[in-house]
Structure 1
Amino acid sequence: MATAIGVGLAWTLHRTTVPGSRLFELLVAIPYPLGPLVGTLAWSELGSPRDGLINQLYTSLTGSPDPLINIYSVPGIVFVMAIFEAPVAVLMIGAAMQRMDPSLEECSAVFGGGKLRTAFRVTLPLMLPAILSAALFLFTSMMGAFAIPTMLGTSARFYVATTAIYVLFQGYPPNYPLAAALGLVLVAITALAVWLYSRVLKGRSFTVVSGRSYRPRRLDMRGWTPVLFGLECFYVLISLVLPLGALLLASLQRSGGTSWHPAEWTLQNYHYVLIDFPTTREAITNSLLLGVGTGTIGVALATVIAWNVHRSNSSGRRLLEQVTMLPQAFPRLIFAFGFLWMLLALPLHLYGTLFAVLLAYVVVFIPLAYRGMSGVVIQIDRSLEEAARVSGASWGRLMRTVTVPLLRTGLLATWALLFMVSVREVSASLFLSGAGTQVLGPAIFNFWDSGGLPRVSALAMVQAAIILVALFVVRRFAGNEIKA
């Protein structure tokens, strides 16, 4: 579901003349960095069968005692996971669509192909590497998802692998060997998925960027424009407006209940998380530093790995790809616990430092960065790099003057994605952050566990504001790069 949403939104935003594409690019990207904790919290407020805001409104309008939606169900879990993961697919697929030569679609139009037929028969097949990259990442990410299925699925008795691992950790005594074995099962599934991905693309050409110059042009959808615009608005409504509206309302409450009367609202919760409580101030600063560091280091490593996998003739390049993807298969609770023991065994005394959290983030998110870059690298015609080599360019000069400039849009999109996921990450830093190294994810988790709904909602709104500013800044840089 997340991949389908991502394909539809990426195509609408980057390949059509539907109005408001620049604004929607920003709005569509925001739900993912809000994170699973925030998404679960928001939709618990919206879709709880007994006192959810949507069900309260439905009951008041219809008088029906039955709820309209039940977010504590398997369809509810799938729905929440899909809408908060879809922005990953939009960013990964959109970066490839922006580099596609429009003449390939114009050829279809010359031979009588309609716009939708061209989209399904030309655009989507050529975007197959980026689409499969997004789908593979989302699949492996959901295999290791913990917060949403655990918090929404407990009442429905719906359990996943990470739930079992968490229970094994929490048991007395903890069953570490069985939890590790279950983690290795997830690793094996990821390795199989990567192998299937390589088999699908083997022996096929998906080159959409060549040495010819071209001017990117968008398709005029005419009568379909209102429909596509409505679908964009609907996604923004269910993934951003309603969740943030519910959190904003909750952040203004004096107590844990929900009051619609402004006389019962207060800004004290924001004053507390921004001024009164030093831990949250420290968490915000540390999260910004980690976001910048993870984005920069992760993109640099992912670009080198993707280039070697898709450009070198080494027999070990597929093994390199599988090893790069392996961290994604580990549930982050398992990874954080193992990483903690590794740090304690090292003589460098890294535990309790911000560098340790940064190192963990880079390892955890390198599969995401690699998938983002590989979908773009595979579309760059080899002849462009071969021409530079014939002219005597070294590997470093080749990357600096040819490959990296052609990848600028993908680099910026991947950097923004790593920044966002770093700011909202919880599990990978839960065991690694401590006094002096607190970050936003564990801070929100601790507030949720002990601080009450109003304060955790206020902190979540602060996080959303940080992400909004970051996306705006990166988007401005990306726009300048595309124009250049």
Structure 2
Amino acid sequence: MASSPSVSAARSASVGYRRHHAFRLIVLVILLAVLALLIVQPLGWIVFNSFHDDDTGQWTLRNYVQIFASTSRWVPLFNSLLLATAVAVISTLLGVPLAWLVARTDMPMRGFIHLLTMAAFVTPSFIGALGWILLAAPNSGWLNVGWRALSGADWPLLNIYSMIGTIFVCSIFTVPYTFTLVSSALEEMPVELEDAATTLGSGVVKTMFSVTIPLVMPAVLVGFILSFIQGMTLFGVPAFLLTPSGTLVVTTKLAEFYQLFPPALYMSAAYCMPLIAITGMLFYARRRILGRRQFTTVGGKGRAGRKIRLKGWRLPALAFALIVPITAVVLPYIAIVLVSLSRAWGLGPIPSNLTLHWYRWAIFENAETQRAIVNSLLYAGIAASFCMIIGILVAYIVERKLLRGAGLIAALVTIPIIIPGIVLSVGFFSAYTRQPLNLYGTATIIIAAFVATFLPIAYSQAGSILKGISPDLERAARSVGATEARTFASITAPLMRGGLVAGWLLVFIPIMRELSVAIFLVSPRTNVMTTLIYNYKDGGNYEAVCAASALLLFATLIVVLLARFVTEGAAYRRRNAASLGAAP
């Protein structure tokens, strides 16, 4: 007897459901396997090694005992805490007023200051440290040379090779974190409460302290925490500025462990644990702050804030607002460009000393630099693309609640946000420089480390985009028989396109300027520009270092401009199509 149409339809639906469920299960297994290789295995090796002895390989707590029993090991921890605290305080004191001046006042040059402050974010902090070595090295720095010539003094005005100099450089390159968070909070915050306070006779200063600052305090506190974490985990700036004086912090002490032969893998793993604990607690505090200190405006989004008139304070405010742009961008960039154009930088920026030799040498004559330029662009491009692919898949599964294991995947993806880059570098070295996956000296290990480090950024960006896309169109497509993959490719992905370019950039830029993740993983053939600059600096050839630094900044800028051109072109085409569609 033939099957009825209803029975056939039921069987087809059952087969389709099983295939659909099997496809989701396969995707889940693949994602978990990838995340296990990228995150679980490196972190697992750090924990495992930290409880083993470098000499005997036996289980032990001796590594932890030695950290706090030896002055040479706990002093760097103390120095890191001192550096991080000072950086967080100074960055907050500079970033919060700067954000208020740019977002809420009639101070002149606000757009220019905003642009240069963001340029400080794009600039690798260790390149900024290089610029300040050229300016404020005790003997040869141009500012000190000028000071001696003008004053006749035999002592330097500035000494960048000190804890104060390191705090200064770290702070000015950390200000953009606080500035971005607070300025965004100020721009999104409605001004009805401020207007009410002003109407009741409150002055500008009183209104700011009684209304504005409490409303943006969550952003201020999060900026403080992020600045503290930056101060704890930076490697390049302390390596450039503190190593000459013999002062160590946690990150440079880790590098010292790897300079031993053989490397002290187990002690370095134990030394990573305090960093993980501190950053983990701070990110937990950040989450609690954002969870509890939420402010809601009843009645929808308020109108844009009016600009506060500074009157006679406009020029003093401008002078304050120019501190970060001048010290983080203008002066270091000028110094780096002039030295890169000099035959010998000690002679100063005089016409007879100018040359393009070092650029010609770096681009056309030096195979090492050529290879590093290609490697940087290639590794950053591949890593950013993989980050976005994994981030999109995980965000889609989590936001659309497609699988029961979605929470586990989301947790794995976000773990690296509390792991300093240099710690992940230690983990990848421990996990993948041994059999059966001995990847040392290959591009694979560096790209994988970059993907693991910056995956949380991609996931966060993709999740934010998906939150703004209604799932109704996806449901409609699936109701007429479209598969999950076809629905995503034909509907969801095109709607995400513009935001994905921005997300790719958010990952690409920090990879291009990342030093600590790659420092233990590169070989002469896999050097990237950041590690090459670090190695060149140790050789003392500042002209070559500055040429390589300028090329790194230029390459990053070109990619950013190209991506912006593509994004704006796509937005223009969408607006044009919409206007044509709306025309009668």
Task: Name the TM-score class by shorter chain.
Answer: 0.7 to 0.9
Deviation string 1:256-290 (CA, Å, 9 cap, x unpaired) is 53333211221110111122224433433443344
Please say if 1:270 is aligned against 2:359. yes
Q: CA deviation at 1:186?
A: 1.1
Q: 1:296 to 1:255 in 2, by over 3 A?
A: same
Q: Which has the higher contact order (CA 8 A, sep 6+)?
A: 1
Please say if 1:425 is aligned against 2:517. no
The answer to whether the 8 A contact 1:2-1:82 is kept is yes
Please say if 1:20 is aligned against 2:95. no
SS of alignment partner, residue 517 of structure 2:
helix
Equivalent position amino acid for 1:189 in 2:
I
Please say if 1:324 is aligned against 2:414. yes
In 2, Cα distance between the equivalents of 1:369 and 1:92? 18
User: 1:18-167 residue pairs with structure 2 within 5 A?
Assistant: 18-167=107-256
Deviation string 1:227-267 (CA, Å, 9 cap, x unpaired) is 22222223211111111121122112223533332112211
Q: 1:114 to 1:464 in 2, by over 3 A?
A: farther
In 1, Cα distance between the equivalents of 2:317 and 2:241? 31
Q: Percent identity?
A: 29
Q: TM-score by structure 2 length?
A: 0.67
Please say if 1:448 is aligned against 2:537. yes
Pick the aligned partner of 1:181 from 241, 266, 270: 270
The answer to whether the 8 A contact 1:33-1:423 is kept is no
Equivalent position amino acid for 2:319 in 1:
G
- Alignment correspondent of 2:308: 220
- Computing the radius of gyration from Cα coordinates, the structure with the larger value is 2
SS of alignment partner, residue 300 of structure 2:
coil
Q: CA deviation at 1:455?
A: 1.0
SS of alignment partner, residue 518 of structure 2:
helix
Q: More displaced, 75-84 or 247-256? A: 247-256
In 2, Cα distance between the equivalents of 1:106 and 1:296? 46
Q: CA deviation at 1:429?
A: 1.9
SS of alignment partner, residue 346 of structure 2:
coil
Q: 1:106 to 1:463 in 2, by over 3 A?
A: farther
User: 1:400-415 residue pairs with structure 2 within 5 A?
Assistant: none
Deviation string 1:429-483 (CA, Å, 9 cap, x unpaired) is 23444576442212222332347111110111122223444555667758998xx
Q: CA deviation at 1:341?
A: 4.1
The answer to whether the 8 A contact 1:309-1:318 is kept is no
What are the ranges of 5 or more consecutive residues in structure 1 without an aligned counterpart?
A: none
Please say if 1:343 is aligned against 2:432. yes
The answer to whether the 8 A contact 2:421-2:517 is kept is no
In 2, Cα distance between the equivalents of 1:271 and 1:436? 21
The answer to whether the 8 A contact 2:105-2:309 is kept is yes
- Alignment correspondent of 1:4: 93
Equivalent position amino acid for 1:216 in 2:
A
| Superposition CA RMSD, Å | 4.5
The answer to whether the 8 A contact 1:248-1:461 is kept is yes
Q: 1:446 to 1:50 in 2, by over 3 A?
A: closer
In 2, Cα distance between the equivalents of 1:141 and 1:66? 32
Q: 1:282 to 1:319 in 2, by over 3 A?
A: closer
Equivalent position amino acid for 1:453 in 2:
Y
Equivalent position amino acid for 2:169 in 1:
V
Deviation string 1:124-156 (CA, Å, 9 cap, x unpaired) is 333334333333222223212222223322344
Equivalent position amino acid for 1:229 in 2:
L
Number of residue equivalences = 471
User: 1:258-297 residue pairs with structure 2 within 5 A?
Assistant: 258-292=347-381, 294=383
SS of alignment partner, residue 90 of structure 1:
helix
The answer to whether the 8 A contact 2:362-2:544 is kept is yes
Q: 1:327 to 1:289 in 2, by over 3 A?
A: same
In 2, Cα distance between the equivalents of 1:134 and 1:479? 33
Equivalent position amino acid for 2:222 in 1:
S
SS of alignment partner, residue 107 of structure 2:
coil
Q: More displaced, 461-470 or 75-84? A: 461-470
Equivalent position amino acid for 1:462 in 2:
L
Q: CA deviation at 1:325?
A: 5.0
The answer to whether the 8 A contact 1:115-1:219 is kept is no
Q: CA deviation at 1:80?
A: 0.8
Q: More displaced, 43-52 or 295-304? A: 295-304
